Chains A and B, each alone.
Chain A
């Protein structure tokens, strides 16, 4: 990880209620080349609070990438997606929908709500790790995003 010390770590917000999945994502990101800081929230309400820096998240910085599960307690992932994409402050943050559902309707609905991409979590671990790495690679190193979330 040469030179990574000078680069600010990439902030990733993982919105996921299943601890098993959280751990898997963390394990996958551990193997990443990019220095990253992963923040985890367990439901949609927390996710919005985090993004809007409300309450205990006052001092948190805006994430560079959001990994969003669709089925969440309190506030559904679809609602979270909609709120993010309607919020002028937040809508430039890439949102990757990462879910078990391969339902056409979920896919269609997510893109209609301006998800940046939709990925079905593979059941195979190796593939999952590959997917997480690809997400990172694509969104954090390949894609040119507006500086500082465009703000």
Chain B
């Protein structure tokens, strides 16, 4: 039988109960607070989850099924909430490369998560995109889950790729141009970059280049320094030194740009050795030509004076012989004298023709713009007597103005008209001059109704002292057409003929429409 508790005992018990109650009340309060905090946390998590700009997805660890996704996930993948739930990423056809998924799984196992791994994935419409993935294991309601954040970096990747390609393109361009390209510091002339061509051209490696300044490769360092300061657009000729000491000429073009906040020079150097050599060759040829022209001129002078002097003696004294001793000479002697004089006369004619031929180039005048009608008029005036004697009719179409040496061109017309008169047929000569437009040039024609020229002689008629007929038949040394050709050639043109033997000949020659040297 338990004893009846005493008052004190009861009192104590009440007190204990009171204490217990207060403790319980406190605990209850604490739980209440805790619950509030939890709700708050959950709200926070939810907000963070729902409104995260990254795609968020929660999958169950044990079967990989999706239990939640946010709006961004839908935007990125095209899968809305309801289509994603309860399915695995494999079922969604999310992965492109199995090895990516494997890597992710491995990381999960080893580290319970990973950060910023780049994987390609397929979105709902089948497009391949690139994402940056971060995952972590969390317990949700006692269930281990994987929460994954996904950022679509396709655009960025594309931009990066484009940039890379563009960089590559320009780098290849930089290296493949045939000029040496150097990038230098504007202040110091220190080489910051060079292309492959520069390495090949000078024999320095890129590493060697990067330890040098522009004056190190210059064979004219003072000029190079000056150019670095003054920065002309172009240096027509600068001599540089190769690693092996060879000095060579370059044409350099310059420009500036900002490189990492500092002014830099970009220059392109073109090796002009060949051009210089060619120029030198042309200079030598020109010199030689001038010398040879001078010699020709001297020869011509010798021909005109020194050769004619003895000729005159032969001719004059045989004639003096005739004059003084006519009575004492028989018919034979008179014939012989005649032959001697005729020979001397012809010799003189040949010398003069040769002189005229050589003077086409040595005595040519500068070109002027002249009306062809004027040229033709002069030629006809010079031929007036022969035209009248042969009762020739000379006609012409409208003719252009041309850039020519006037007196030489008069000579061309005159020689061609003379030819037409000389080689006339039975009928009285008809000569027609016309012109037509060619490609950048005028084509003149001088047409006659004469005896014509056979095709086989097309080259020969233009050669000096070549004749197609006996002297008795047609007089002349055979210089006329040779002079025509030389004059036309001096004007940069061509001369030829078309002919029907027995019916007539048309001579053609071309003259440039624009002014040509000289």
Chain A residues within CB distance 8 Å of chain B: 18, 20-21, 24, 27, 70-71, 99-105, 121, 123-126, 128
Contacts and interface: CB of A to CB of B under 8 A. Distances in A.
A128 B316 contact: yes
Nearest to A19: B313
Interface in B394-441: none
B305 interface: yes
Nearest to A103: B304
A125 B319 contact: yes
B319 A18 contact: no
Contacts of A121: 312
Nearest to B352: A102
A20 B304 CA distance: 18
B315 A125 contact: yes
Contact of B317 (A20, A99, A101, A126): A20
B352 A20 contact: no
Nearest to B308: A100
B305 A71 contact: yes
Contacts of B341: 124
Contact of B315 (A18, A71, A102, A123): A123
Interface in B301-328: 301, 304-306, 308-309, 311-313, 315-317, 319-320, 323
A100 B312 contact: yes
B348 A27 contact: no
A99 B348 CA distance: 14
Nearest to B322: A125
B286 interface: no
6 contacts: A24-B317, A100-B308, A123-B315, A124-B315, A125-B323, A126-B319
Contact of B344 (A18, A24, A71, A123): A123
Contacts of B345: 123-124
B289 to A, nearest CB: 21
Contacts of A125: 315-317, 319-320, 323
What 9 A-B pairs come out closest when comparing CB atoms? Answer: A125-B319, A20-B313, A100-B308, A125-B316, A123-B315, A123-B348, A123-B312, A71-B305, A24-B316
Contacts of A70: 305
A24 B306 CA distance: 17
A104 B407 CA distance: 13
Name the prevailing secondary structure of the B interface residues.
helix
Contact of A101 (B305, B311, B344): B305
A71 B345 CA distance: 22
A126 B323 CA distance: 9
Nearest to A105: B363
Interface residues of B, number: 21
A70 B315 CA distance: 21
A99 B312 CA distance: 11
| Most chain A beta carbons < 10 A, residue from B301, B312, B348, B363 | B312
Contacts of A102: 304, 352
A21 B316 CA distance: 9
Nearest to A126: B319
Given A71-B305, A71-B306, A102-B304, 6 more contacts: A20-B312, A99-B305, A103-B301, A123-B345, A124-B319, A125-B315
B305 A100 contact: yes
A61 to B, nearest CB: 30
B305 to A, nearest CB: 5
A107 to B, nearest CB: 12
Contacts of A18: 309, 313
Contacts of B352: 102
Contacts of A27: 320
Given A27-B320, A123-B345, A123-B348, A100 B309 contact: yes
A123 B304 contact: no
Nearest to B349: A123
Interface in B352-379: 352, 363
Nearest to A99: B305
B315 A100 contact: no
A121 B319 CA distance: 15
A121 B308 CA distance: 10
B320 A123 contact: no
A18 B312 CA distance: 11
A32 to B, nearest CB: 15
A21 B309 CA distance: 9
Nearest to B320: A125
Contacts of A105: 363
A101 B320 contact: no
Nearest to A120: B308
A126 B320 CA distance: 9
B192 to A, nearest CB: 65
Contacts of B348: 123
Contacts of A99: 305
A3 to B, nearest CB: 28
| Most chain A beta carbons < 10 A, residue from B309, B315, B341 | B309
A18 B316 CA distance: 13
B305 A123 contact: no
B256 to A, nearest CB: 58
A121 B348 CA distance: 12
Nearest to A100: B308
Contacts of A103: 301, 304
